[in-house]
Amino acid sequence: MLMRVMGLDLGTVTCGIALSDPMGIVARAVETVRFDSENYEMALDKVTEVIKREQPGKIVLGYPKHMNGDIGIRAQASEQFKAMLEERTGLEVDLWDERLTTAAAERILIQADVSRKKRKKIIDQMAAVQILQSWLDAHS
Angle 29-69-66 from CA coordinates, rounded to 5°: 60
5-10/14-20 β-pairing: antiparallel
Using one digit for the tens of pLDDT, what is the confidence trace for 81-132?
999 999 999 999 999 998 767 777 778 878 888 888 887 778 889 899 999 9
Q: Of 6, 15, 1, which is closest to residue 56 (Cα–Cα)?
A: 6
Question: Which domain CATH number covers 45?
Answer: 3.30.420.140
Q: Rounded to a whole number, what is the largest CA-CA distance in the chain?
A: 41
Using one digit for the tens of pLDDT, what is the confidence trace for 18-74?
999 999 999 999 999 999 999 999 999 999 999 999 999 999 999 988 778 788 888
Per the structure, the count of domains in the chain is: 1
pTM: 0.89
